Amino acid sequence: MRLLSAIAREPLDRPPVWFMRQAGRYLPEYREVRSRHSFQDAVRDPAIASAITLQPWRRFDVDAAIIFSDIMTPLEGLGIDVAFTPGPTLDPMTIGEVAALDSLDSGAVDFVGEAIGLVRNHLPDDRAVIGFAGAPVTLAAYLLEGGGSKTFLQLRRAVIGDPEATSDALMSLGRSMHTYLGSQIAAGADVVMLFDSWAGMLSRDEWERFALPAARAALDGLDAPTIYFAPHGPHLLDSVAAVGADAYGVDWRLPLDEAWRRIGHDHAIQGNLDPAVLLTDPATVRSATERVLNEAAGRPGHIFNLGHGIDRATPIDNVAAMVATVKGERP
């Protein structure tokens, strides 16, 4: 399995390629399915979720399929109602309320495991199924704000003003996400990824004190390779390997070679083409893709990916040009 080999830093003739939000609105076949089903109905129905998960593999023959779901999905299993409008929306919680949440009953979200099982059955043996969860700090950021935010000030206020309750809340979410990721592995996920989308809002000292132990609680002891990704976090790169994951995602802000050196070459790296590149034209896409490959310099352990999720306005031809370039196919 090419993705697993890359994570194990084995030599490969080319890096594996997949990309964040690859099963999403830029795909006409995705929009077709979503014209008939709401986002949450699609996530909750294993047949629909697995079909969507496979769409980018069918179209681009990518090396991995990440389960169609959302980082907020397992919060249902904690008794939290989340609407998608289209971003997550919920009643804001206090940090004490988050700390008092029960542990995850993964049976409440076993539709995710069922979807993973269906994907694993359809996908060739050499392609990986990726499960995922939101990292505790990122989940708490949404729970405290009641949705998205440009600043996530409530998280930052909790970290500063109520550090003990914040640690309790994050460790509790970490244990629940550990249960959730374990259930995805049991269902057939070959790799799991922890998305810490808003960890970069914290200072490095706060990240080390709050985000790091909670991310470790989510990942430690899982029976599959792990990837940790904190976008918008160039200030965290020197510290991030303390998470203990096998691979680290990096956004587009620093060259891949510099980011890899700062994380450490004893870990695999995943990234880091700016998704804005995919809004240009195939020639520009090929040249920017080659630049990332050149920065990786064939070093074992590179997983080609974007530096952030693909944009919904992305032309299909540009995605095809990116994948073909990674595969060494001439235009």
Judged by the rule CB under 8 A, the positions of this chain that interact with its own copies are 148, 150-151, 153, 156-157, 159-161, 200, 202-205, 232, 234-235, 252-255, 274-277, 279-281, 284, 288, 308, 311
Q: Quick check: is 14 catalytic?
A: no
Nearer to its own copies, 78 or 144 (CB): 144
Q: Alpha helix (H) ranges present in the chain?
A: 2-7, 28-34, 39-44, 46-60, 95-99, 110-122, 136-145, 153-161, 163-187, 204-206, 212-219, 256-263, 282-296, 316-326
Identify the active-site residue in 14, 59, 70, 299: 70
Q: Which of 329, 316, 158, 41 is nearest to 52 (CA)?
A: 41
Q: From the CB of 151, what's the least distance to its own copies, in Å?
A: 8
Nearer to its own copies, 38 or 280 (CB): 280
Identify the active-site residue in 26, 30, 142, 180: 142
Nearer to its own copies, 29 or 311 (CB): 311
Q: Alpha helix (H) ranges present in 68-152?
A: 95-99, 110-122, 136-145
Q: From the CB of 290, what's the least distance to its own copies, in Å?
A: 14
Identify the active-site residue in 2, 9, 21, 120: 21
Q: Which two tokens stand for residue 210?
A: 């709050």
Q: From the CB of 240, what's the least distance to its own copies, in Å?
A: 13
Vertex 229 angle, CA 224 and 233, to 5°: 155
Nearer to its own copies, 74 or 307 (CB): 307
Distance CA 101, CA 89 (A): 18
Is the separation of the CB atoms in 151 and 82 below 8 Å?
Answer: no
Q: Quick check: is 142 catalytic?
A: yes
Q: From the CB of 281, what's the least distance to its own copies, in Å?
A: 7
Q: Quick check: is 34 catalytic?
A: yes
Active site positions, annotated: 21, 25, 34, 70, 142
